[in-house]
Amino acid sequence: MNLPNGLQRIHPSQLSVGIYVVLTEHWMRHPFLFSSFVIANEKDLRTIQELGVDSVLYRPDKSKAAPLPASLAAAAVAVPEASVESAEHQALRQAQEAAKRVRIERVQALRKAVADAEKHYEKVSDAAKSSLTRLHAAPAESTTELLALTEELVKDFGADGSTLHLLGVSKRDAAAHNHAMGVMVLAGMIARGIGMAEADAAAVALGGLLHDIGRVKVGESIWKRKEGEMTAPEASKFKMHPAWGEEMLRGVPLPRQVHEAILMHHERMDGSGYLSGLRGDALPLAARVVGLADRYEALINPFSLAAGLQPYQALAKLYSEEQGKFDPSCLKALIAALGVYPPGTFVELTNGQWGIVTSFDRGLPTRPTVALYDPDVPRAEALLVNLGEAEEVSIARAVLPTAMPQAAFDYLSPRRRMAYFPSSRPT
């Protein structure tokens, strides 16, 4: 059988220090952090040879040493060592077992942190949805509840030691609700990032949740159409949604930031936005924050999810093509909140493995947690590695889905909707 990447199959006895080995054993059955790596020392060599496997794969192009000839290796193995396992040997075996257990527990903890964040997200999402259903009938009560919700939420944003997770959001909610949720979270993070006090950030986050409420007056059929596909009257109607939204809440006692965010979230710093073409300082901070959060969320989760940009592509677009439209300090806060490799980014590691960033700890922007592609491991059991704890491997580059093998993309793809949610607990 032909093996990919020039891989060759050899007997474990042929291995030596310097060989780039690829273990095909499930990650739970060996004590190494990664399944492919250069054998660094005699200890690792012995560990592999004692896994009890019939063969291993190695990559000649990445190896610093050649395998031993099969005949010689067999002879070396044939020479019996001490008949009783030495104390040193026994200690090594026990240490390996312990390392394996720690590693499995660690992966389970990382998986639990994501599951907890997912549960928390769903809880907040359900609470927001239930309050929103009463927005028209009882706007004051509804918004009071929602403000209490965002006040609670922003406490977790931007705290040192907080972790941002990528969630796969289920399709049970309408895309519009998930978009509003996404904008709320991002707006809250940006607001905290630029130094807003919690109460102000909560108001801005609420503005993020409510920014598009005017859509009900636009109507679904126009709303779902792409900009270029609207007739001129339809486009004019569409562009009224910020004003209609703000009108719906006029007279409701809310922090001014909520009104500003709804009314002006399509205004841009260079005056190119709508409805009034406001420019620069005339644009309130709440509207700048929510406008940016709305734009970023729409780029990574458009109506047609397949057309969504990778997080770093979206950031690059905001910085290049759309430069001048957004407040640089808000952009900086967005990047700080998402990390150098935002959750959802596909990456190639320095050991050649493919992965997707799943979480990022605020203190370690370049060393996030990554789920790794391994065809021999079921997707639900994919190995999660916190690169903050794996000094030997790092991210070589962020990659586009088209630049990676289809099988790796299908395995890792989060192409349900991408959502971010932070947790303040250390994971």
The nearer residue to Fe ion, 71 or 304, going by C-beta atoms, is: 304
DSSP annotation of 5 reads: G
Choosing from 44, 156, 198, 212, the residue that interacts with Fe ion (CB under 5 A) is 212
* 269 in Cβ contact with 160 (< 8 Å): no
The nearer residue to Fe ion, 212 or 327, going by C-beta atoms, is: 212
The nearer residue to Fe ion, 160 or 227, going by C-beta atoms, is: 227
The nearer residue to Fe ion, 213 or 385, going by C-beta atoms, is: 213
Token pair belonging to 93: 């075996």
- Nearest residue to the partner Fe ion, using Cβ: 212
DSSP annotation of 375 reads: T
Closest CB 176 distance from Fe ion, rounded Å: 11
Q: Which segment (125-133, 207-215, 226-234, 329-337) binds Fe ion by CB under 5 A?
A: 207-215
The nearer residue to Fe ion, 266 or 367, going by C-beta atoms, is: 266
HSE toward the beta carbon, residue 126, CA cutoff 13 A: 8
Token pair belonging to 219: 């109507």
The nearer residue to Fe ion, 212 or 267, going by C-beta atoms, is: 212
The nearer residue to Fe ion, 156 or 212, going by C-beta atoms, is: 212
* 252 in Cβ contact with 140 (< 8 Å): yes
Question: Within its chain, how far is the Cα of 268 from the centroid?
Answer: 27
Closest CB 294 distance from Fe ion, rounded Å: 6
Closest CB 245 distance from Fe ion, rounded Å: 8
Taking Cα atoms as reference points, which of 285, 143, 265, 128 lies closest to residue 208?
Answer: 265
Closest CB 215 distance from Fe ion, rounded Å: 8
Closest CB 267 distance from Fe ion, rounded Å: 11
Closest CB 396 distance from Fe ion, rounded Å: 38
Q: How many chain residues are in contact with Fe ion, going by CB under 5 A?
A: 1
Q: What is the C-alpha to C-alpha distance for residues 138 and 215, in angstroms, rounded to an integer? A: 18
Q: Which segment (38-46, 86-94, 120-128, 211-219) binds Fe ion by CB under 5 A?
A: 211-219
Q: Which segment (40-48, 181-189, 210-218, 405-413) binds Fe ion by CB under 5 A?
A: 210-218
Q: Which segment (184-192, 206-214, 337-345, 411-419) binds Fe ion by CB under 5 A?
A: 206-214
Burial 127-137 (b: 16+ CB within 10 A, else e): ebeebbeebee
The nearer residue to Fe ion, 139 or 207, going by C-beta atoms, is: 207
Q: What is the C-alpha to C-alpha distance for residues 350 and 288, in angstroms, rounded to an integer? A: 38
Q: Who contacts 382 (Cβ-Cβ below 8 Å, separation ≥6)?
A: 371, 372, 373, 374, 411, 412
Closest CB 295 distance from Fe ion, rounded Å: 10
Q: Which segment (123-131, 177-185, 212-220, 272-280) binds Fe ion by CB under 5 A?
A: 212-220
- End-to-end, the C-alpha distance of the chain in Å comes to 42
Closest CB 275 distance from Fe ion, rounded Å: 11
Token pair belonging to 43: 């200890």
* 390 in Cβ contact with 351 (< 8 Å): no
* 319 in Cβ contact with 374 (< 8 Å): no
Residue numbers of the site for Fe ion (CB under 5 A)? 212
